Chains A and B, each alone.
Chain A
């Protein structure tokens, strides 16, 4: 089956093109729950882009985060709540990115007065930035979430975490959207939970989203146990991917998982992840809820730790003098992902 060029996994020049052609169009950056009050912010870096997303009294806004004075970051990296004011010399900005106050300055020495503004889009509680200045296209996101049973406004996460991965972002995507590896890589997570390489796998896709359901076979099904806990329970692992950097899953209709990647270079990627309760879990007895949340944290951390050495070994192999890439029929969503990728990259 056709695949993208192995060089695209290690080339810094291709990575720069990906930033321009892919990540500048639609970048997931967090949820509305990350911005509880006016002046809440999230300050991020994506390669050479330093930008901030802020909740203002006129809605969510995103700006270039480099002060017009001496280029300090206006909002420090990370998140919090503060006025939109540079900490270096107090230059402060309005909700439209225009310079409002510049203490003890001479107007004649200020030629540029407005920060670049980026597009912001919202689908349910999910926030995306268009670093190319346009509002990101999000019309297919809601349908993908519906396919896997994620509510429009789930409760705030009960656990958040970050994992540094020494690999290209595309390897994380590919690992996330196939179930072929489950029996070989996940002895402490997916296999005891009933999911393996032979599980039934259904999938579908749209213009820039794809989703799947992994359903255990009869001999590994735990449905009767799960439905003792709640009649709403299923025994499945549902997964949605929103190109290029957002993953969402639901497990047994109890626990939701949301994660997103921020690529740092061609061979280094940060994966941020969080877990939240789905409606069926919220209805369980408190003691059962608490234990299920603990088990979900253990399951997720374990499965990510199990994946990490494999995706990083693929990075080594793809960066070697003789890389190989031969997709199999059991990996149809990867082929779909490569179509999205090639379409945006114009077959670079």
Chain B
């Protein structure tokens, strides 16, 4: 359970190349980011980490690392 692994899963969820993202990527500034991407991230957190994210968790985060902090904290 590492941030690198989470970035990979995040990229897969929103259908972008893994190399185009880092932990510091401001994901809501990505060209095609939309509400469906937010749903995909919520679904990924549920399926891969067993963590329930809310839309507010995603909307209030700026970077992928911000989302990761929420997921990793709830996973413990």
**Contact with A222, one of B13, B36, B53 (Cβ below 8 angstroms):** B36
Q: Report yes or no: A286 in contact with B38, Cβ–Cβ below 8 A.
A: no
Q: Report yes or no: A225 in contact with B37, Cβ–Cβ below 8 A.
A: yes
Size class of the B contact interface (CB-based, 8 Å) = 10 to 19
Q: Report yes or no: B39 in contact with A288, Cβ–Cβ below 8 A.
A: yes
Q: Is B11 an interface residue (CB 8 A)?
A: no
Q: Report yes or no: A288 in contact with B42, Cβ–Cβ below 8 A.
A: yes
Complex Cα spacing A286 to B47, Å:
11
Q: Report yes or no: B37 in contact with A287, Cβ–Cβ below 8 A.
A: no
**Contact with B46, one of A192, A287, A292 (Cβ below 8 angstroms):** A287
**Contact with B47, one of A192, A225, A285, A294 (Cβ below 8 angstroms):** A285
Residues of B42-56 at the interface with A, using a CB-CB cut-off of 8 Å, are 42-43, 45-47, 52-55
Q: Report yes or no: B15 in contact with A229, Cβ–Cβ below 8 A.
A: no
Contact partners of B53 in chain A: CB under 8 A: 287
Q: Is B34 an interface residue (CB 8 A)?
A: yes
Contact partners of B43 in chain A: CB under 8 A: 228-229, 284-285, 288
On chain A, the number of residues with a Cβ less than 8 Å from chain B's Cβ atoms is 17
Given contacts A286-B52, A291-B55, contact A226 B36 (CB under 8 A): yes
Complex Cα spacing A110 to B11, Å:
78
Contact partners of A292 in chain B: CB under 8 A: 39
Given contacts A225-B15, A228-B43, A285-B46, contact A291 B52 (CB under 8 A): no
* Residue of chain A at shortest CB distance from B36: A225
Contact partners of A192 in chain B: CB under 8 A: 34-35
Q: Report yes or no: B39 in contact with A229, Cβ–Cβ below 8 A.
A: yes
Q: Is B40 an interface residue (CB 8 A)?
A: yes
Contact partners of A229 in chain B: CB under 8 A: 39-40, 43
**Which of A222, A228, A294, A295 gathers most chain B CB within 10 Å?**
A228
Residues of A at the B interface (CB closer than 8 Å) are 192, 222, 224-226, 228-229, 284-288, 290-292, 294-295
Question: Top 5 closest A-B pairs, CB basis?
Answer: A287-B52, A285-B46, A291-B55, A288-B43, A225-B36
Residues of B at the A interface (CB closer than 8 Å) are 13, 15, 34-40, 42-43, 45-47, 52-55
